[in-house]
C-alpha cells in the first residue's frame, strides 16, 4: 500500500516559506545521503527545521514518544538498509530519545538524530526547554564519544558543512554510524543562497582487501586444525559466503543470538546458538570436541553471546575478525593467543572462500570431529485445554505458521520473550530475526516493530511482554499509517523475567506482579484490531487471522506465568560470577 506522506503545514505559516532556508537545504543533503523515512516527535524548537525538511520528498512518521521514534528508526535501518532520520525537539524531546540512540549504537545502525537547541547567546538565561551545555550533560550528547560516533551543536553554515562531510563518510563506511546534529532555531530558519551546497558530491570508500598471506594462513588453520566458525551480527550480510565456506571445508558453525539465521539453523553443520537463551550443544561442543582454532567473526563475544563462560575458548588460537579492533579477545582476556584481523566480515569470508575454491580438492576429514553434537531439536508439544499458553507452545506455533516462509520479520523483546525466541525458534534465512541483545531495552521492539513495518517490505511481528507494552508502544502510530505490525503480547500479568530471575538468584522478587491488562481493549481503543488467546487451542487460528489482516494487530496471549525462561541458569551463573568479582546486578 502507498504510505501517506505527511508534511508540516502548507508552506504559508512561516515567514520564509518562499525563500530557501538552511532546513530545506539540509533536507536535500539528507536525501542525498540516502534518507527517505523520518521518525520523530515535533515541537516548537524543531518545527521550522521539519517545515524546511518536508519541502523534500520524505515520508515523515510522527510518533507518540521520542524513544518510540528512535527505536522505529533503528528498525527502519535494519529493514531497509537505508540510513534513517530521527527528529526531536529541544530538552525533554532530546532526553527521551537517548535510550534509542544507545540501542542504535550497540546494534550498529546507521542513524542521524536532529534535535533543536537553544542559541548560544541564550545560554543560562532561562529559555523554554533550554538545550545547551548548561542543561544537557555534555560531552556525551553534543560531542562525539560513547553514544554518538559524531555529534555537534552547529551554529553556522560552515559548521554544518563540516558535520555533513563527517556524516557522509560515516554512512559510506562499513559498520554502524550514529550521528547527532543539534540545531538552534536561528540556523534552522536562516535564509541561504540556493546555489550553496551543504554537502559534497559524494564519497566512495574503497573496500579494504586482506593480503594473500593473511588469507592463506587463515585457510590453513581452517582446514588443518579442528576449527569452528563462531559468527555474530557483523556477518549478517555474509550468509551466502558463510554457507559455501562451511560446506566446502566442512567446518561447524555457531551463531550468536543476534545472528540467528545467518547460518541455516536446520543445517547439519550448525552446532547451536550461544549465550542468552542459547543451546547447551555449544558448551558441549567445546567440552567434547576441543576446537583448536575458533574464528570469531563480527562478534565481541560479549555476555549475551558467550556469558563469558570459561569453557568457550580454543585450545590453540583465536582468529578474530572485526571492524573494531577493541573487540579482539576482550571477552576472554589473558587466555590463549589470538590473531586479530581488522576488517569487514563479508569481505574476509569471500576472500577465504575464493582461496578455498582455488585449493580444491581439499582434504576432507574422514569423520567429522564434531560428529556427536546435534543442535537442539525442540520436543513437539500438544495443545493443552484450560491452561494458559506455554511460551514454548507460542514458539512452536510461530515456527510452523510463520517461519516456514520468509515473508515475515520476527522481533523479540527484552524479557522472557527474547530468551524463548533465541532458544526455540529456528531460522533458515538471514535478517529475518531481530533482537537487541547487547542493549536489551524494554520498549525497543514494542515500538521498533512499527519502523520495520513502515520501511521494510515484510510484515513485522514483535514477541513482547506485557511489561514492555506498558512501558512504551506505538500502536496508535501504527494505526495512523496502517503499518503491517503485529504484537504478540505474552501477557503473564507480571514482570516475568524479574520474578523468575530473582527467585533463581535466591532472592524474594520485589513488586513483580501487575494487574492484568486487557490488551484487546487497549489496542481497540486506539483503532487497532485485536484478539485474546486464552488457551493453546486458540493460538493457531488467531495467528493466521492476524497474518491475513492488512493493518496493525495485537494478540493478547494469556501466557503461563510459571514457565521458567531458558536463559535463567546461565544468566544466573554469569551474574553470580560478576557479583563475586565485585560487579553489580
Ligand atoms: C528499559 C529497561 N528497563 C528495565 C529492564 C530490566 N528488565 C528486563 S526484563 C524485565 C521484565 C519484563 O517484563 P515483561 O515485559 O512483562 O516480560 P516477561 O518477562 O514477563 O515476559 C525488566 C524490568 C530492561 N531490560 N529495560
Ligand atoms: Mg510479563
Q: What spacing in Å lies between the alpha carbon of 279 and ligand 1's midpoint?
A: 22
Contact 160, 199 (CB under 8 A): no
Q: For residue 417, which atom of ligand 1 is closest to its CA? A: 21
C-beta of 319 in contact with ligand 1 (< 6 A): no
For the chain, residues with pLDDT lower than 70 are 1-18, 363-368, 372, 569-585
Contact between residue 116 and residue 49 where contact means Cβ atoms under 8 Å apart: yes
Handedness of CA 553, 554, 560, 565 (dihedral sign): positive
- For residue 372, the SS3 value is coil
First to last CA, the chain: 46
pLDDT at position 9: 33
Contact status, residue 418 vs residue 443, Cβ threshold 8 Å = no
Report the pLDDT value the prediction gives residue 41, as an integer from 0 to 100: 98
Centre of ligand 1 to C-alpha 439, Å, is 12
Per DSSP, 257 falls in state G
- Does any ligand 1 atom lie closer than 6 A to the CB of residue 446? no
Neighbours of 492 (CB within 10 A): 26
Sign of CA dihedral 327, 98, 24, 195: negative
| Cell triple for 552 | 496493525
pLDDT at 504: 86
Testing ligand 1's pocket by substitution, the residue of 492, 495, 500, 584 carrying the most ligand atoms inside 8 A of its CB is 495
- Residue 416 CA to ligand 1 center (angstroms) comes to 8
What is the atom index within ligand 1 of the atom nearest the CA of 464? 15
Torsion angle, alpha carbons of 242, 312, 418, 379, to 10: 90
Q: Answer whether 391 contacts ligand 1 (Cβ < 6 A).
A: no
Distance between CA atoms of residues 380 and 396, nearest Å: 8
Atom 17, ligand 1: which residue's CA is nearest? 465
pLDDT of residue 16: 44
> 3-state DSSP call for residue 110?
strand
Dump pLDDT digits (tens) for 118-144.
877 777 777 777 777 777 777 789 999
pLDDT tens string 45-67: 999 999 999 999 999 999 999 99
∠ CA 276-238-241, nearest 5°, is 120
pLDDT at 5: 33
Q: Ligand 1: distance of its center to the CA of 444 in Å?
A: 11
468 lines ligand 1 (CB under 6 A): yes
Radius of gyration of the CA atoms of the chain, in A = 25
d(CA 493, CA 154): 47
Cα 424 to middle of ligand 2, angstroms: 19
Cβ of 436 below 6 Å from ligand 1: no
CA–centroid distance for 69 within its chain = 14
| Residue 559 to residue 394: CA distance in whole angstroms | 9
Compute the distance between CA of residue 165 and CA of residue 199 in angstroms, rounded to an integer: 6
Cross-sheet strand order for the sheet of 433-435: 433-435, 408-412, 459-465, 485-491, 553-558, 529-533
* Predicted pLDDT of residue 310: 87
Residue to mutate, 303, 421, 442, ligand 1, most ligand atoms under 8 Å from C-beta: 442
Kindly give, in sequence order, each residue whose CB lies less than 8 Å from that of residue 565, ignoring residues fewer than 6 positions away: 277, 391, 416, 419, 420, 496, 497, 500
Q: What is the pLDDT of residue 175?
A: 94
Report the C-alpha gap between 258 and 231 in whole angstroms: 10
Sign of the torsion angle spanned by Cα atoms 277, 280, 285, 287: positive
How far apart are the CA of 318 and the centre of ligand 1, in A? 35
Ligand 1 atom nearest to CA at 496: 20
Please give the pLDDT value at position 57: 94
CB of 256 sitting under 6 A from ligand 1: no
- Which residue's CA is the nearest one to ligand 1's atom 7? 415
Q: Give 87's strand partners.
A: 40, 114
Sign of the torsion angle spanned by Cα atoms 381, 385, 387, 391: positive
Measured distance CA(96)–CA(63) in Å, rounded? 12
pLDDT of residue 18: 60
**Atom in ligand 1 nearest the alpha carbon of residue 440:** 25
Name the residue at shortest CA distance from atom 18 of ligand 1: 496
The pLDDT of residue 123: 75
Which ligand 1 atom sits closest to the C-alpha of 514? 16
- Ligand 1 near 467 CB (within 6 A): yes
Amino acid at each position: 500500500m502507498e504510505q501517506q506522506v505527511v508534511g508540516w503545514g502548507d508552506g504559508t505559516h512561516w515567514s520564509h516559506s518562499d525563500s530557501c532556508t538552511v532546513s530545506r537545504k539540509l533536507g536535500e543533503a539528507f536525501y542525498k545521503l540516502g534518507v527517505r523515512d523520518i521518525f520523530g516527535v515535533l515541537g516548537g524548537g524543531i518545527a521550522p527545521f521539519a517545515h524546511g525538511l518536508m519541502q523534500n520528498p520524505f515520508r515523515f512518521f510522527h510518533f507518540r514518544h521520542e524513544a518510540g521514534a528512535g527505536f522505529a528508526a533503528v528498525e527502519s535501518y535494519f529493514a531497509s538498509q537505508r540510513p534513517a532520520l530521527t527528529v526531536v525537539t529541544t530538552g525533554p524531546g532530546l532526553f527521551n530519545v537517548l535510550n534509542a540512540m544507545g540501542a542504535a549504537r550497540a546494534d550498529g545502525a546507521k542513524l542521524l538524530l536532529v534535535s533543536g537547541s537553544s542559541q548560544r547567546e541564550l545560554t543560562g538565561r532561562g529559555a523554554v526547554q533550554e538545550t545547551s551545555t548548561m542543561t544537557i550533560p555534555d560531552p556525551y550528547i553534543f560531542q562525539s564519544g560513547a553514544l554518538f560516533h559524531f555529534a555537534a551543536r552547529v551554529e553556522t553554515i560552515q559548521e554544518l558543512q563540516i558535520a555533513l562531510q563527517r556524516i557522509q563518510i560515516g554512512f559510506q563506511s562499513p559498520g554502524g554510524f550514529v550521528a547527532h546534529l543539534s540545531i538552534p532555531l536561528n540556523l534552522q530558519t536562516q535564509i541561504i543562497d540556493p546555489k550553496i551546497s551543504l554537502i559534497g558530491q559524494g564519497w566512495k570508500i574503497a573496500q579494504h582487501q586482506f593480503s594473500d598471506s593473511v588469507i592463506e594462513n587463515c585457510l590453513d588453520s581452517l582446514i588443518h586444525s579442528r576449527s569452528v566458525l563462531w559468527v555474530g551480527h557483523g556477518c549478517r550480510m555474509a550468509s551466502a559466503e558463510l554457507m559455501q565456506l562451511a560446506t566446502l571445508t566442512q567446518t561447524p558453525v555457531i551463531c550468536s543470538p543476534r545472528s540467528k539465521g545467518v547460518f541455516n539453523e536446520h543445517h547439519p553443520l550448525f552446532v547451536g546458538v550461544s549465550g542468552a537463551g542459547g543451546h547447551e550443544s555449544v558448551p558441549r561442543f567445546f567440552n567434547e570436541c576441543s576446537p583448536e582454532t575458533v574464528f570469531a567473526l563480527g562478534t565481541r563475544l560479549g555476555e549475551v553471546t558467550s556469558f563469558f563462560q570459561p569453557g568457550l575458548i580454543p585450545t590453540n588460537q583465536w582468529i578474530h575478525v572485526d571492524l573494531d579492533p577493541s573487540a579482539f579477545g576482550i571477552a576472554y582476556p589473558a587466555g590463549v593467543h589470538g590473531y586479530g584481523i581488522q576488517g569487514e566480515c563479508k569481505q574476509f569470508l569471500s576472500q577465504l572462500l575464493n582461496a578455498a575454491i582455488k585449493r580444491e580438492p581439499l582434504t576432507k576429514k574422514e569423520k567429522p570431529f564434531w560428529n556427536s553434537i546435534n543442535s537442539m531439536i525442540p520436543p513437539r508439544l500438544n495443545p493443552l485445554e484450560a491452561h494458559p499458553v506455554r511460551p514454548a507452545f507460542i514458539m512452536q506455533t510461530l515456527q510452523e505458521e510463520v517461519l516456514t516462509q520468509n515473508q515475515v520479520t520476527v522481533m523479540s523483546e527484552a524479557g522472557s520473550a527474547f530468551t524463548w525466541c533465541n532458544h526455540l525458534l529456528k531460522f533458515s534465512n538471514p535478517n529475518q530475526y531481530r533482537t537487541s541483545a547487547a542493549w536489551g531495552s524494554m520498549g525497543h521492539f514494542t515500538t521498533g516493530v512499527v519502523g520495520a513495518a513502515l520501511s521494510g517490505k515484510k510484515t513485522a511481528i514483535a514477541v513482547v511482554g506485557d511489561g514492555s507494552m506498558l512501558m512504551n508502544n506505538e500502536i496508535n502510530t501504527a494505526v495512523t499509517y496502517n503499518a503491517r505490525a503485529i504484537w504478540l503480547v505474552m501477557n503473564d500479568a507480571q514482570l516475568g523475567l524479574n520474578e523468575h530471575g530473582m527467585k533463581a538468584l535466591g532472592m524474594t522478587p520485589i513488586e513483580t506482579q501487575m494487574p492484568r491488562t486487557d490488551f484487546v481493549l487497549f489496542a481497540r481503543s486506539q483503532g487497532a484490531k485485536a484478539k485474546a488467546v486464552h488457551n493453546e487451542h486458540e493460538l493457531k487460528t488467531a495467528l493466521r487471522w492476524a497474518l491475513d489482516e492488512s493493518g496493525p494487530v495485537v494478540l493478547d496471549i494469556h501466557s503461563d506465568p510459571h514457565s521458567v525462561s531458558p536463559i535463567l541458569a546461565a544468566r544466573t551463573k554469569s551474574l553470580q560470577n560478576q557479583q563475586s568479582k565485585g560487579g553489580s546486578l
